[in-house]
Structure 1
Amino acid sequence: MIKKKCNQNSIFAPYKIIMSSNQNPEEFYEKLKGQLYETAAWPSEYLYKFIIKSDVHAIAKIEAMFNNIGAVIHTTESKNGKYTSISINVLMENPEAVIAKYKEVANNVEGVISL
């Protein structure tokens, strides 16, 4: 795992991944998969962005999920230190792999917001 500042201009991440509470998750991910196939050639670099309450254990848990796959991870605390933004740039094979990682994070880290 490499931690450094990401060059966000060169990374494919055109969608904000915020699912409303009344939205069917599977329909949401199916729509996202279609959009990802339409807008990029795969494999492609993808920029994940997560926001969580600042907690070293939760941050480490997210980082571990992207460990050993060549991810570049950058964390930034909010001004008051209450929240942490995690940006992860990684080469993904296809939209299914992108969505699998979103699901893995959502299922294993309480209170995470995916952007």
Structure 2
Amino acid sequence: MNKDSTDEFYLRLKEELLRTTSWPSDYLYKFIVPTDMAKIKAIQNIFDNSGAVIESKKSSKGKYTSLSVTVNLPDPEAVIGYYKEVAKVEGVISL
């Protein structure tokens, strides 16, 4: 995604979250990560000290790991902030 489409995506996400969710609220992130402990740990560190509950499950062949992260957040800006931080970890797919 180029910067313009990324900014547009986050703007639409913010508008959708404002319209459909009462804040503060629990938010569920889902990520697919190559099974690489350094990458998994990097994502865990992003949510460190946030009170997040993180569940992980390896794919059937073990090549990928899915991470489900549930965290209580004050507003859509916080949701987007975490997405932007996780996007810095190479190879992560946000669902």
Q: Same fold (TM over 0.5)?
A: yes
Of 78, 81, 94 in structure 2, the residue corresponding to residue 97 of structure 1 is 78
CA RMSD of aligned residues (A): 1.0
Matched, 1:51 2:32: yes
Please list every run of 5 or more consecutive structure 2 residues that lacks an aligned counterpart in the other structure.
none
Alignment of 1:61-72 (within 5 A): 61-72=42-53
Of 88, 91, 114 in structure 1, the residue corresponding to residue 69 of structure 2 is 88
Secondary structure at the counterpart of residue 85 of structure 1: strand
Structure number with the higher helix fraction is 2
Secondary structure at the counterpart of residue 60 of structure 1: helix
Give how far 1:74 is off. Answer: 0.3
Cα distance in 2 for residues equivalent to 1:94 and 1:56: 30
Of 45, 57, 77 in structure 2, the residue corresponding to residue 76 of structure 1 is 57
Q: Give the TM-score taking structure 1 as reference length.
A: 0.79
Cα distance in 2 for residues equivalent to 1:27 and 1:52: 24
Please list every run of 5 or more consecutive structure 1 residues that lacks an aligned counterpart in the other structure.
1-20
**Percent identity over paired residues:** 54
Cα distance in 2 for residues equivalent to 1:86 and 1:45: 16
* Number of equivalent positions: 94
